[in-house]
Amino acid sequence: MASTSLGVELDLPAIALSLDGAEYKPEQFPGLIYRVKNPKAATLLFHSGKVVCTGAQSIEDVKIAIDKVITLIRKNGIQIRDQPKIEVQNVVATFDLGHKVNLNSIAISLGLEKVEYEPEQFPGLVYRMGVPKVVLLLFGSGKVVCTGARKPQDVEDAVDKITAELLAADQLR
């Protein structure tokens, strides 16, 4: 997920009428939702001029999606500064450890102060890593979801760190 500010207040009802496929239901959600097809991403536009882009597969795709929305808004006569600064707020990634894991055993080896594991509530183990500051969801299948990263390098560092921790605790043999 990434966001930017267009530096101007937006007339969302007018934009909703001019953007084909835009969804604007202020009684349900305060922003306008506009889906870009290529690259596949959703943009959320707010009255304040803030734009949030979610679902893109890369930072480059975020830039392309936001540029497309800005171009469409400009065609409707709204002045927007040349290049809004885009800030990545959350990178989500998935990876596979390569085999099934025992979450009960992992919960103990990683330290109960950093782990939430209640299999009756949720089938995954939640591991809050300190550095990099991310949250990992580990599943018995060996699949892992990493969320909260600010840049792709954080994900790579988290993968390296959790793999090393699990190997050291004899959880990946």
User: pLDDT tens-digit profile of 6-21?
Assistant: 888 899 999 999 888 9
CATH of domain 2-88: 3.30.310.10
The predicted-structure confidence for 87-117, as pLDDT tens digits, reads as follows: 988 999 999 999 899 999 999 999 888 999 9
Classify the C-alpha dihedral 40-31-71-84 as positive or negative.
Answer: negative
With residue 167 as reference, give the H or E element that holds it.
Answer: helix 152-168
- Joined together, the tokens standing for residue 29 give 């959600």
Is the CATH number 3.90.245.10 carried by domain 91-168?
no
Write down the mean pLDDT value for the chain: 92
The pLDDT of residue 82 is above 80: no
Burial of 74 (0-12, 13-18, 19+ CB in 10 A): exposed
Q: Where are the domains of the chain?
A: 2-88, 91-168
- 91-168: same fold as 2-88? yes
Residue 44's CB is within 10 A of a number of other CB atoms, namely 18
Measured over the CA atoms of residue 47, residue 50, residue 55 and residue 60, the dihedral's sign is positive
Report which DSSP code applies to 48. Answer: T
Q: In which element (H, E) is residue 60 found?
A: helix 59-74
The sign of the torsion formed by the CA atoms of 167, 168, 171, 173 equals positive
Task: Quote the CA–CA distance of 115 and 103 in Å, as a whole number.
Answer: 10
| Confidence band for 79, pLDDT divided at 50, 70 and 90 | confident
pTM: 0.78
Among 87, 100, 95, CA closest to 53? 87
